[in-house]
Amino acid sequence: MTLWRGKAPLILASQSQARKMLLANAGLPFAAMPADIDERGIQAGSRLSSPRDVAMLLAREKAKAISVRQRDRYVIGADQTLALGERLFSKPAGREQATGQLRDLAGRTHELHSAVAIARGGKLLFEEASVAHMTMRSLSEAEISAYLDAAGDAVTTSVGAYQLEGLGVHLFERIEGDHFTILGLPLLPLLAFLRSEGLVAV
């Protein structure tokens, strides 16, 4: 028996493995259809500097971009930003950039801002953002190198060069925040919205 009451599966405007896992584990049927938007261009054009506002903007634009093509479907857009003070991080392009990011984050506390938005027919229906505070251990050059050797190319797929659900957990000494926020999808408010729309049974 399924909890889903929608006429058609959701669409996730992302290829994030973590977001797919969260939706699947929650028993939500969905198709992944990444939004082909110019994230950096949209961010630059908006002139927004707040990490939360940037994450909200990009989540919103991803959801709307797919929903104008799939007009009868509920489309989930999500985005996550990493901020160390006033500095926003992007995904590292390779090992050298990943090394630099880990050097900068080591021994300090940074913020992960995760945003989710839902659109249908090009209209925004819902949006929410949450934050987690992540304190990374002090790391020696040898420890950074060992981690990067073990993690491989996966470090280029996530901002900050880590995936907490994988080997990245070894880098941290303290985490304050919602598990789902850390993985890039504020799931509890998303589920609350779906219930309000009569799309899930509980």
Q: Verify whether residue 36 is a known catalytic residue.
A: no
CB distance 184 to 78 below 8 Å: yes
* Catalytic hit among 53, 79, 104, 149: 79
Q: What is the 3-state secondary structure (H, E, C) of 20-79?
A: HHHHHHCCCCEEECCCCCCHHHHHHHHCCCCHHHHHHHHHHHHHHHHHCCCCCCCEEEEE
Q: How many Cα atoms are found within 13 Å in the side-chain-facing hemisphere of 24?
A: 8
Indicate if the alpha-carbon torsion angle 189, 82, 55, 51 is positive or negative.
positive
User: Which residues does the annotation mark as catalytic?
Assistant: 79
